Amino acid sequence: MRLSRRHPRYASLVVRARLAAASRAGLVVPEGLIAQGRGEAFDYLLGERTSRSARSAERAAARWLLAAARPVVSVNGNVAALAADGVARLAAAIPHLTVEVNLFHRTPSRARAVAAALRRAGVRRVLGVAPTARIRGLPSDRALVDAAGILRADVVLVPLEDGDRAAALRARGARVISIDLNPLSRTSLTADLPIVDAVERALPNIAAAARRLGGAPIRGRPPAVDAPALRAAALATIGRRLRAAARAPGPRARRPGRASRPRPRGSGGRSRRRPAPRGRRCRSRPRRRPRAGSARRSPRASR
């Protein structure tokens, strides 16, 4: 299907078309399409752009990843479909970052498809296609990880995660950076550093911030982050936009009865103007009422 660039929701249609194609190719599961819908709804409320607070969270994420000894970015089907080149850019900007496939709905062929999409985008080394370890206490396939990757990571970047695994990673002592458009999701509520932004925008922003920092590992502790304040800022953005929308004037109301009044029969579709009553003809301007106490008197009053 051809999409017109002039369509007001062109960008969103392109994303949908990309995900639908990825779903047909077996990269994205139908549940992933539903997750995208939830994300889109929040992005709509957030104004479909990176907010100031999200940008500062992305700068902090770059510092956290550069300061980590064993940073990992976890990639699922939606992330590979929407932002494989964002992952590649991030891996290029942070050379010691490990890229690992991690899927809730795992099949060997899907894991291979996600890895292939990442390699096509330029990621050289991809872990997680053949998991070698398991995170204890997690019932889903998200528990299947690589012993050289997520299992020993000290900082994990989890775009489009579920809350259970974010909590399990934290319980293991890893610091969790989330990318999730929903500031109310369990993932956002659990993360040490919640980034409330679209993964397509957030990953390139983090990569750019890491490049500006020189791309080399940073010594010492990364900056502290106020996670509740980041979530509150995202909610405040949504609140401001909703209040502005509630104040915005709607389309001008029609005068009651005008449009719906049936035309008289036999008028041939044209409206017949009734002549104005005598004495009211040809008045182009409304008559002004004299101001109280005004020195000027109307001609009638002088009669």
What does each C-alpha distance from 197 to 141, 201, 231 come to in angstroms? 26, 7, 11
Grouping H, G, I as helix, E, B as strand and the rest as coil, residue 251 is: coil
Q: What is the smallest separation between the CB atom of 103 and ligand ATP, expressed in angstroms? A: 12
Q: What is the smallest separation between the CB atom of 30 and ligand ATP, expressed in angstroms? A: 12
Closest CA to 228 of 183, 175, 166, 198: 183
| Residue 122 backbone dihedrals phi, psi, to 5 degrees | 115, 10
Q: What is the smallest separation between the CB atom of 46 and ligand ATP, expressed in angstroms? A: 10
Q: What is the smallest separation between the CB atom of 80 and ligand ATP, expressed in angstroms? A: 12
CA distance 223 to 68: 12
Q: What is the smallest separation between the CB atom of 179 and ligand ATP, expressed in angstroms? A: 5
CB-based contacts of 261, cutoff 8 Å, min separation 6: none
Q: Which is nearer to ligand ATP, 39 or 128 (CB)?
A: 39
Q: Which tokens is 74 given?
A: 């976890």
Q: Which is nearer to ligand ATP, 35 or 93 (CB)?
A: 35
Grouping H, G, I as helix, E, B as strand and the rest as coil, residue 233 is: helix
Q: Which is nearer to ligand ATP, 70 or 186 (CB)?
A: 186
Q: Which is nearer to ligand ATP, 67 or 87 (CB)?
A: 87
Q: Which tokens is 179 given?
A: 């990318």
Q: Which is nearer to ligand ATP, 46 or 97 (CB)?
A: 46
Q: Which is nearer to ligand ATP, 67 or 165 (CB)?
A: 165
Q: Which tokens is 300 given?
A: 């009638």
Contact between residue 61 and residue 73 where contact means Cβ atoms under 8 Å apart: no
Position 239, amino acid: G
What's the count of helices (H) and strands (E) in the chain, helices before strands? Answer: 10, 8
- Residues of this chain that interact with ligand ATP (CB under 6 A) are 35-36, 38-39, 42, 82, 160, 162-163, 179-182, 185-187, 198-199
Q: What is the smallest separation between the CB atom of 137 and ligand ATP, expressed in angstroms? A: 15
Q: What is the smallest separation between the CB atom of 167 and ligand ATP, expressed in angstroms? A: 9
Q: Which is nearer to ligand ATP, 140 or 213 (CB)?
A: 140
User: Which residue number is nearest to ligand ATP in terms of Cβ?
Assistant: 39
Biggest CA pair distance of the chain = 107
CA distance 178 to 163: 10
CA distance 92 to 89: 5
